[in-house]
Structures are given as C-alpha cells and as structure tokens.
Amino acid sequence: MAGLSARKNRLMSMGVLAAGLAHEVKNPLSTISVNLQLLEEDFADPKTPQGERALRRAQLLLREVKRLDSIVNDFLDLARGYEIKPESVNLEGLLTELLSLVQAQNDRLSIQMRTSLSPEARSVVADPKLLRVALMNLVVNAQQAMADEGGELIVESRPRGAEIEVRITDTGHGIPREKLEKIWQPFFSTKEGGTGLGLPTTRRILEEMGGDIHVFSEIGRGTRFTVRLPSLPKQLPPVVPDGDSSES
C-alpha cells in the first residue's frame, strides 16, 4: 500500500509538470502541422521529381508530428490519471470482442491463439472503455514480443476469491530480470520505436479501478501478465464525479 501511495504521489507531481510541458509542446506542434498540411497541398500534383520528393517528405514529417502529438496526449493522460466510471462488465464478452480484433494480426505474425475463459469469471466491476484499453495494451505487447518468429498467445480468465484473474501469456523471448521493474516506467521500452507508455498506462488504469497487475518472465520461454480485478462493487474506491454531484 505504501508503494502504491508513493507512486500515486509521484504521478500527481508528474501530472502538474506534464500539463505545462504539453502546453509548451503542443502549440509549436500545431504550427508545424498546419504548415506541413499547406506544403502537402502545394505539392499535391507534383510536376517534377523534386516536387514528388518534397511531397513525400512533407507527408512523412506530418505523420511524425501526429505521432508526437499522440505521445504527448498519452503521457498527459497517464500523468493526470483517469476518470473511472465503474459498472458491471461482461469480461468474457469484452475479451472475445477484443481478441477477434487482433486475429488478423495474429495470422500475419504466425501467432496461434489459445483461450480458456471461465464461465465463473464472467463479470467484473470496471470502466469498460478503460479496461478495453488496458487489456488491448497487454495483447498488443504480447504480439510484439512474438513478431519475429511467431508463437502462442494464451488468454485465460478464472475466479480468485472476490476477484477475477486474467492471464495474458506469450511465448516470446522473455524480459531480462534487470528490466522487469523498469517496464512500468514511462518511456522505458524494450522494443525499437516503442513509446514506453503502454504498460505504465495499463498499470495505472487497473490500479485506479481497484485492481492490480503482475508480471512473470523467463528468457527464451516468454512472459505472463496477470491482471486481477474486483468482482464486487464494495471493493472499488469511491468515485467523486466532476461538477454537480446531483447530476445522474
């Protein structure tokens, strides 16, 4: 509990810094984006090879600007926290829908998927939109861990006392022990081109919904993330809505 409280305090302090940073970064990014869009329009019908190169460069830079803007927004969300709107969620339905969305990518990467969803682990108390984000982050993370050689993606759910447990396992290369704690740090990534925000975001979402997450990994054998969520409303922390509390 003390560790969780200290981490929340650090994130609150980071939120203040992130808000100022986002303001300072997003203004010039907006200016750059607008001017790149104008350049893209100017070279929309290039007449020379030089014009074609200029168009490609403008489009490339515009994509990178959008990526930077997305990273700033994700970091700001992580630092500020999330407005949790808990309700009873059909976990089996949510997982089934989510896994259907990633099937095409599994096929492309030669990843076999195996599921074991317990009927007794059907309902959890969570924010459905944020829970979908958190679990999708873990599934995509597993896919990326097996992107080179394929493998097996295993998704399981089961009751565990007053909680529901979800396990997402990959058979990728595994994470070195010295890096396991670092994966929760913003901007730390073991993947080339990764932002390092997916796992910290997942952890904060789950903790703010009254759940938690643990990781186990073996080099050469893969990684398993274990998510635990409350199945009873009384286990959730009280949620204070913004604005007039009399609104429904």
pLDDT of residue 146: 95
Same domain, 220 and 120: yes
pLDDT over 60 (residue 195): yes
Same domain, 106 and 223: yes
Would you say residue 41 lies in a domain? yes
CATH number for position 41: 1.10.287
More confident residue, 49 or 195: 49
Would you say residue 243 lies in a domain? no
pLDDT in tens, 26-53: 778 888 888 888 888 888 888 888 888 8
Average pLDDT of span 91-115: 94
pLDDT of residue 196: 78
Q: Which residue has the tokens 């940073």?
A: 21
Specify the DSSP class assigned to residue 118: -
Average pLDDT of span 57-69: 87
Residues spanned by the domain of 137: 88-235
pTM summary value: 0.70
Same domain, 75 and 152: no
Would you say residue 63 lies in a domain? yes
Same domain, 114 and 216: yes
Would you say residue 105 lies in a domain? yes
Q: Mean of the per-residue pLDDT values for the chain?
A: 83
Percentages of the chain per state (helix, strand, coil), in multiples of 5: 55, 20, 25
Same domain, 159 and 76: no
Same domain, 37 and 151: no
Would you say residue 242 lies in a domain? no
pLDDT in tens, 149-174: 999 999 999 998 889 999 999 999 99
The CA distance from 122 to 225, in Å, is 19
Same domain, 147 and 190: yes
The CA distance from 67 to 69, in Å, is 5
pLDDT of residue 12: 59
How many other β-carbons are positioned within 10 Å of the β-carbon of residue 22?
18
Number of domains observed in the structure of the chain: 2
pLDDT in tens, 214-240: 999 999 999 999 999 998 544 444 444
Would you say residue 103 lies in a domain? yes
Angle at 76 between CA 74 and CA 82, to 5 degrees: 85
